Structure 1
Amino acid sequence: MVRSLRLRLLVGLFPLMLAMSAASAPIAAPLIATGAEAGKALTPAQARLVEKAVALGATDVQGRPGTDGGLLLGGKLKGAQFALAIPADWNGDGLVYAHGYSAPGTPVTVSANPVDKSGLLKEAYGQGFAAGHSAYDKAGLGVETGAVNTLRLRDLVAGLGGKRIYVAGDSMGGGIVVTLLETHPEAFAGGLARCGVVNSWRDLLSRLYDMRAAYAFLTRGGPYAYPQTDLRRNVIAPEPPTGADDATAQAYVFGQMIKMAAPPLALWAAAQRNPQGPEARIVRQVTTIGGFEYDAASLVYPLVTATLASEDLIATAGGWVYGNEGRDFSTPDMSPQEAAAINAGVQRLKADAPALAYLDRWHTAKGRIRTPLVTLHNRIDSLVPYSQEEAFAKAVAKAGEQDKLAAYAVPAVKAPLPGGVEGYTHCGFDQAQTAAAWNALRQWAEIGRKPSADAIK
């Protein structure tokens, strides 16, 4: 049953890959345009922008005209790739984007044209904003490198003549937005954080690893169990073989995610065949322990993340990040004997103090935002729960900065998963909500009026 799901997962898990990773093709934009851009040359003003980028310290700089007459500018800042689209009628303002979490082993590259697809960056670009994104130094947990590299791109835009510069991000990138606004409020006119880890990585990782610990205990010895039960180790290695090119590496990581999704999806399928059976009880207990909905994606997404992340977390944070000493793993539907068994049998671990200190720095929110911030979250999210928004709002209120926060909750969205089922999405926003959030932020920054409570629906 588990093996038979894998081919269907190639299609069914594609939304997960989009939600968790913004990595795409590496920058390879030639100075001489090709295809639809053939025969075009940079204008003198665009050529000066390319020269200025070099003078500002960018390396491997490449500039080419876009099909709409704008400038596509790419290169590296301190070794990390960036891509920036500057419209022909640039209004002098900019938007830099921080992407979300990508599984360890995912190529650290960005799209050469950051505005070639519908979305936030294209929306801003169409309004005359320079819009771009930066790669991080590593995949996996990347709040620190994401904040550093996104700030460098912001400084480049400012050096090119940018005035009001905004920052936006999704998922882990939403947390990076909060980190930047708390640590460099003077650098940004405002921020937009969607579906973000806006409050605490400690909390999110505790939820994910509580689920992995409970799943390991409740499926032990059965057909849905993972072969590796030590939470401090990956179940399988997510990283591709050394020397793999970007396309091969991306496909390899995708394949490893598929393998990790297969057992819980098979468990979910069995639970749907017998809603009162033991598999349904396991799903209910595992999702309850993590604080998620009884839902296919809310079971699968956290487990896929936790089974592939452990060794990267240790390497990044300088120690183990998750402790469950004293944690009660019982749920209301367990008998006293079952509750005693899981609490006695689940793997007990202690977090390392330096690792927790790292998570607090990168990042537990202090709520000290002095720049307009718009947040957007689905009321139910299958990877980053809405409780992140609630806790963040409390931190902002405690810091006395609630006048700088406009938080919006929108309805949950479901998407197809393998086996003819649906699951709640992570970052399930449509283009109208995206445009409304962006316009609410820029109008707030430009005219000084906080957006209304119904600005985004």
Structure 2
Amino acid sequence: MRHFCNRAATSALAAGFALVMAAAPVIARQLGDASSMRARFQAAPEVKRLKVVETADGGSQVNAELNGRMFALRIPPNWNKQAVLFAHGYTPPRTGKADTVSADPVVDDPAHGLLGTAYAQGYAVGHTAYDKLGFAVASGIVRNVALERLLRKIGAKKVFLTGGSMGGSITALASQLHPKEFDGAMAMCGPVSDWTYTLQHVADVRNLYNYFSRRTPYELPGSKDVTTGINGINPVAFFLNLRKLQNDAVSDPKGPAAQIIARTMSAAPGMRNKADFATLSSGLILAIASIDDARQVLGGLPIGNRDVVYQSSLLSDAENAALNEGVQRYEADPAPRAKLIRDYSTTGNQHMKLLTVHNAYDPLVAYEHEDRLRSRVERAGNLKALAQQTWPTLTLSFTAPAAKTLVPAAETFKGFYGAAHCGFTKEQMSKSFNDLIAWTSDGIKPRESFRKNLDQ
């Protein structure tokens, strides 16, 4: 499930670029034309398989391989010698498949229009593939730093890092680990505090769903062991069960299916949850898709629930006791857990200007990550380098086109989907990006906003 996939381009921009080119043809040829860009990239020995073409507006589209991984850039004809990189989110591993990025980061904008907005303002924009699919936080940091250094070589004076979902975590961590590399960062809807929090949450959702759906028509196929994935199971069978659950819950809001959703989400500890299909299905999908991958990356199981107490206000005391007796119990392997905490958690060591952006409620990456990050940065006395903004929760129904990108065969589901993961509009992303630029250029710290409730 690759996050951020909106398109961003307008005919008005092309007209604006034409005016710039007519007024300043010499500058354009020096900064953004294809022949100039080709020469600059050819001078970098680490760049292979280079392809540079002139775009319709007189700029350059650059596709090449950097240290063994593909990247894509769009450089406008009126390039301001600044660049914006976008770190993409989690893509489930597939045997024999390598990570990829879209060839044109403006036409196929992975960032809800953010890259299109930046490009229209004269920024070069781009993104890079990682060394692997799936849990690739470490690689995402390394690859974006490498692309930033390449951009400096070809003339960039400032480079900003942005990212969504897992890419938000990459952005936040890179801002702390490489404070001298980038000139500012913007992390959207990401696990910006620590991955133990998210991985434990999705495992809890799967564990609780297994318990409440046991011996019902909604029980998921394959292994019920939450410490492993369900490789080899036909995805169609998996989604057929979820479709039946959702359709039955819509048809009978007080029936067994609706109760399973409500009980599962109400018993998940550590964060405020909505009892909607989006929260349930997002947690189940990520838990099953990521656990084997995370174990491979970290060298063992990094999460455990031996001492976790599950409690639902929808259950009686006796039912809660039975729940805690009946869920799967498992322990984390000490070394992988220590590695996850050490290498995949932000600290209070925030010196680069970082703007984080979150929906008031996100069904996959909890808003509470924002609170956890802020408390660490505040304790370290570095709040001057952190700004946080909250946008209202975006909700979707299966009739909405965007729902089809989130759930396979969405048209076969009924009605309400729930809150959207990374549910931002182009206007919201543009506003936050411009706030970041004003902060880094003029010292005007963005106006912060925090969650009032699960919707605002």
Q: TM-score normalised by the shorter chain: which range applies?
A: 0.7 to 0.9
User: Structure 1 residues 344-353 or 176-185, which shifts more?
Assistant: 344-353
User: Contact conserved, 1:298 with 1:382, CA < 8 A, in 2?
Assistant: yes
User: Contact conserved, 1:92 with 1:163, CA < 8 A, in 2?
Assistant: yes
Residue in structure 1 matched with residue 397 of structure 2 by the alignment: 416
Q: Does 1:68 align with 2:57?
A: yes
Following the alignment from structure 1 to structure 2, what is the Cα–Cα distance between the partners of residues 455 and 436?
Answer: 16
**Closer/same/farther in 2, CA of residues 190 and 328 from structure 1, 3 Å limit:** same
Q: Does 1:379 align with 2:346?
A: no
| Secondary structure in structure 1 of the residue aligned to 2:217 | coil
Q: Does 1:135 align with 2:126?
A: no
Residue in structure 2 matched with residue 407 of structure 1 by the alignment: 388
**Closer/same/farther in 2, CA of residues 455 and 67 from structure 1, 3 Å limit:** farther
What do you get for the CA RMSD once the two structures are aligned?
Answer: 2.3
Residue in structure 2 matched with residue 368 of structure 1 by the alignment: 349
Residue in structure 2 matched with residue 244 of structure 1 by the alignment: none
Residue 155 of structure 1: how far off its partner (Å): 0.8
Following the alignment from structure 2 to structure 1, what is the Cα–Cα distance between the partners of residues 4 and 426?
Answer: 19
Gaps of 5+ in 2: 7-27, 399-412
Following the alignment from structure 1 to structure 2, what is the Cα–Cα distance between the partners of residues 104 and 446?
Answer: 39
| Secondary structure in structure 2 of the residue aligned to 1:192 | strand
Letter of the aligned partner of 1:111 in structure 2?
S
Residue in structure 1 matched with residue 258 of structure 2 by the alignment: 280
| Identical-residue share of aligned pairs (%) | 32
Residue 401 of structure 1: how far off its partner (Å): 1.0
Letter of the aligned partner of 1:113 in structure 2?
D
Residue 166 of structure 1: how far off its partner (Å): 0.3
Following the alignment from structure 1 to structure 2, what is the Cα–Cα distance between the partners of residues 325 and 299?
Answer: 22
Residue 454 of structure 1: how far off its partner (Å): 6.6
Following the alignment from structure 2 to structure 1, what is the Cα–Cα distance between the partners of residues 299 and 266?
Answer: 30
**Closer/same/farther in 2, CA of residues 446 and 181 from structure 1, 3 Å limit:** same
Deviations 1:266-325 (Å, cap 9, x if unpaired)? 223323333333332221121123342111111111111112222111111111122001
Question: What does 1:146-185 correspond to in 2, within 5 Å?
Answer: 146-185=140-179
User: Structure 1 residues 380-389 or 218-227, which shifts more?
Assistant: 218-227
| Secondary structure in structure 2 of the residue aligned to 1:165 | strand
Question: What does 1:442-457 correspond to in 2, within 5 Å?
Answer: 442-453=437-448
Q: Does 1:233 align with 2:233?
A: no
User: Contact conserved, 1:440 with 1:455, CA < 8 A, in 2?
Assistant: no
Question: What does 1:89-108 correspond to in 2, within 5 Å?
Answer: 89-105=78-94, 107-108=98-99
| Secondary structure in structure 1 of the residue aligned to 2:141 | helix
The match for 1:111 among 95, 102, 114 is 102
Following the alignment from structure 1 to structure 2, what is the Cα–Cα distance between the partners of residues 21 and 142?
Answer: 19
TM-score of the pair, normalised by structure 1? 0.84
User: Contact conserved, 1:267 with 1:279, CA < 8 A, in 2?
Assistant: yes
Following the alignment from structure 1 to structure 2, what is the Cα–Cα distance between the partners of residues 325 and 143?
Answer: 27
Following the alignment from structure 1 to structure 2, what is the Cα–Cα distance between the partners of residues 338 and 120?
Answer: 48
Following the alignment from structure 1 to structure 2, what is the Cα–Cα distance between the partners of residues 448 and 237?
Answer: 53
TM-score of the pair, normalised by structure 2? 0.84
Deviations 1:49-100 (Å, cap 9, x if unpaired)? 3233233211111111111111111111111110011111111111111001
Letter of the aligned partner of 1:422 in structure 2?
Y
Deviations 1:96-143 (Å, cap 9, x if unpaired)? 110011111165111111111461111111111111000011111111
**Closer/same/farther in 2, CA of residues 367 and 123 from structure 1, 3 Å limit:** same
Residue in structure 2 matched with residue 425 of structure 1 by the alignment: 420
Residue in structure 2 matched with residue 325 of structure 1 by the alignment: 306
Residue in structure 2 matched with residue 31 of structure 1 by the alignment: none
| Secondary structure in structure 1 of the residue aligned to 2:286 | helix
Following the alignment from structure 1 to structure 2, what is the Cα–Cα distance between the partners of residues 448 and 419?
Answer: 48
User: Contact conserved, 1:20 with 1:101, CA < 8 A, in 2?
Assistant: no
Gaps of 5+ in 1: 1-16, 23-41, 239-254
Q: Does 1:350 align with 2:318?
A: no
Following the alignment from structure 2 to structure 1, what is the Cα–Cα distance between the partners of residues 230 and 237?
Answer: 10
Letter of the aligned partner of 2:419 in structure 1?
Y
Following the alignment from structure 2 to structure 1, what is the Cα–Cα distance between the partners of residues 337 and 156?
Answer: 37
Letter of the aligned partner of 2:99 in structure 1?
V
Residue 354 of structure 1: how far off its partner (Å): 2.2
Letter of the aligned partner of 2:130 in structure 1?
Y
Residue 43 of structure 1: how far off its partner (Å): 6.0
**Closer/same/farther in 2, CA of residues 409 and 261 from structure 1, 3 Å limit:** farther
Residue in structure 2 matched with residue 26 of structure 1 by the alignment: none
How many equivalent pairs are there?
405
Letter of the aligned partner of 2:103 in structure 1?
A
Residue in structure 1 matched with residue 48 of structure 2 by the alignment: 59
